[in-house]
Structure 1
Amino acid sequence: MSYERFVVVGDSCAEGLDDPYPDGSRYRGWADLVAARLAADNPDLRYANLAVRGRRLDQIISEQFPAATTFRPDLVALFGGGNDVLTGGFDPDAVAGRVAEAVAKLTAVAPTVLVFTLSDLSQRMRMTRGLQPRIAALNSAIHSAAATHGALVVDLADDPSVRDLRYFGPDRLHLSEHGHRRLAGHLLRRLDVPFDRGWLEPLPGEPARPGMLGHARWVWREVRPVAVSRVRNRLVGRSPGDGFQPKRPELRPLAAAELES
Structure 2
Amino acid sequence: MRWGSFVAVGDSFTEGMDDPYPDGSYRGWADLVAARLAVDRPDFRYANLAIRGRLFPNVVAEQVPAAVAMRPDLVSFAAGGNDVLRRSFDPATLMERFDAVVAELRGTGADVVVFRFADVTARLPGQRIIGPRAAVLNRAVGETAERHGAHLIDLFADDEFRNPVMWGPDRLHLSGAGHRRVAGHVLTSLGVQSNPEWMIPPDKLPSARWLAARAADARWAGRHLAPWIKRRLTGRSSGDLVTAKRPELSPFGEIG
Q: Same fold (TM over 0.5)?
A: yes
Answer whether contact 2:165 2:205 (CA < 8 A) is retained. Answer: no
Cα distance change of structure 1 residues 205 and 14 upon mapping to structure 2, 3 Å threshold: closer
* TM-score, scaled to structure 1: 0.91
Answer whether contact 1:52 1:241 (CA < 8 A) is retained. Answer: yes
Shift of 1:129: 3.5
Shift of 1:126: 5.0
1:184 match: 183
Query: Per the alignment, in what secondary structure is the counterpart of residue 19 of structure 1?
Result: coil
Structure 2 unaligned segments of length 5 or more: list them: none
Alignment of 1:53-202 (within 5 A): 53-125=52-124, 127-202=126-201
Query: Per the alignment, in what secondary structure is the counterpart of residue 114 of structure 1?
Result: strand
Letter in structure 2 aligned against 1:146: A
The CA deviation string for residues 215-240 of structure 1, in whole angstroms up to 9 with x for no partner, is: 1211121111111111111xxxx555
1:9 match: 9
Report the Cα distance in structure 1 between the residues aligned to 2:191 and 2:206, rounded to whole angstroms.
30
Answer whether contact 1:2 1:41 (CA < 8 A) is retained. Answer: no
Shift of 1:163: 2.1
Answer whether contact 1:5 1:74 (CA < 8 A) is retained. Answer: yes
Letter in structure 2 aligned against 1:228: K
Equivalent residue in structure 1 for 2:229, among 227, 230, 249: 227
Report the Cα distance in structure 2 between the residues aligned to 1:170 and 1:198, rounded to whole angstroms.
23
Structure 1 unaligned segments of length 5 or more: list them: none
Report the Cα distance in structure 1 between the residues aligned to 2:55 and 2:96, rounded to whole angstroms.
13
Q: Percent identity?
A: 48
Answer whether contact 2:164 2:204 (CA < 8 A) is retained. Answer: no
Shift of 1:256: 7.3
Q: In terms of mean alpha carbon deviation, does 80-89 or 123-132 score higher?
A: 123-132
Shift of 1:208: 5.5
Report the Cα distance in structure 2 between the residues aligned to 1:76 and 1:222, rounded to whole angstroms.
31
Answer whether contact 1:8 1:50 (CA < 8 A) is retained. Answer: yes
Letter in structure 1 aligned against 2:139: S
Q: In terms of mean alpha carbon deviation, does 192-201 or 155-164 score higher?
A: 155-164
Query: Per the alignment, in what secondary structure is the counterpart of residue 17 of structure 1?
Result: coil
Letter in structure 1 aligned against 2:253: A
Answer whether contact 2:161 2:178 (CA < 8 A) is retained. Answer: no
The CA deviation string for residues 177-223 of structure 1, in whole angstroms up to 9 with x for no partner, is: 11110110010111110011111111135455461111121112111
* TM-score, scaled to structure 2: 0.93
